Amino acid sequence: MGLALNYKDGQTPLDEEEKDGLKIKSITSQGELDEFEQLNIEKAVEWTIHANLKQEKLLTEKFIKDLHKKMYSDVWKWAGEFRKTNKNIGVNWTQIRVELKNLIDDTKYWIENKTYLPDEIAIRFKHRIVAIHCFSNGNGRHSRIMADIIVESIFKKEIFSWHKSNMVKADETRKEYILALKAADHGNINLLIKFAKN
């Protein structure tokens, strides 16, 4: 039968080859997939709590890939690998490494020079990495955890609440999130910062 997925606004459809990377062949619906991914993500969050993360370790391509792998490796064979196809959003797949290096360098500069307040640095990073769209799937959740790690590990501040919601399920919350992302695409980061803190 295969995997039947119904995508919400802002989600990136998987191509057939990416769907073939599903490790748990008994999963056939979006609901089942969401549940397995959520369990895997909770294990990854647990790992970040005990990992004693420092700026020089977490602002690297290796850490960004390792985190994605920790979040999705129980479910997807390609977890932690940059996508190899173009999607409905994101940079050309051949530019991922270049754009990610630019983002990491920019973020280090913002931190060093206190260009923005800590919350804004974390959210600007989150917005840019989701716009690059490094992975075949899971970019939104990965970017939110990255923002939490940056604000907590680098700035010693509370993680964001993100509306305390499961973004996959809560439709109104998801709409608000997508609107905030689109505003950030046009240079207004404030809605996304507000969303992260609510």
pLDDT digits (tens, 9 = 90+) for 39-48: 999 999 999 9
Q: At what angle do helices 61-72 and 96-113 cross, to 10 degrees?
A: 110
Tokens of 194: 């507000």
Would you place residue 92 in the very low, low, confident or very high pLDDT band (cuts 50, 70, 90)? Answer: very high
CB 91 within 8 A of CB 85: no
Taking the domains of the chain in order of start, what are their residue ranges?
16-197
pTM higher than 0.75, yes or no? yes
What is the model's pLDDT at position 40? 96
From start to end of 24-90, where are the E strands? Answer: none
Q: What is the mean pLDDT of residues 123-130?
A: 98
Tokens of 9: 């606004």
Q: What is the mean pLDDT of residues 171-188?
A: 91
- Across the chain, how many H-helices and E-strands are there? 9, 0
Rounded Cα distance, 72 and 33, in Å: 11
CB 152 within 8 A of CB 159: yes
Domain 16-197, CATH number (from 3.40.50.300, 1.10.3290.10, 1.10.3720.10, 3.40.1740.10) = 1.10.3290.10
67-86: burial string, b at 16+ Cβ within 10 Å, e else: bbbbbbbbbbebbbebbeee
Higher-scoring residue by pLDDT: 21, 4: 21
What is the model's pLDDT at position 170? 66
Q: What is the pLDDT of residues 62-73, one digit of tens each?
A: 999 999 999 999
From start to end of 95-150, where are the E strands? Answer: none
Q: What is the mean pLDDT of residues 152-169?
A: 82
Would you place residue 80 in the very low, low, confident or very high pLDDT band (cuts 50, 70, 90)? Answer: very high
What is the model's pLDDT at position 163? 79
From start to end of 5-116, where are the E strands? Answer: none
What is the model's pLDDT at position 2? 63
DSSP state, residue 55: H
Would you place residue 123 in the very low, low, confident or very high pLDDT band (cuts 50, 70, 90)? Answer: very high
What is the model's pLDDT at position 1? 47
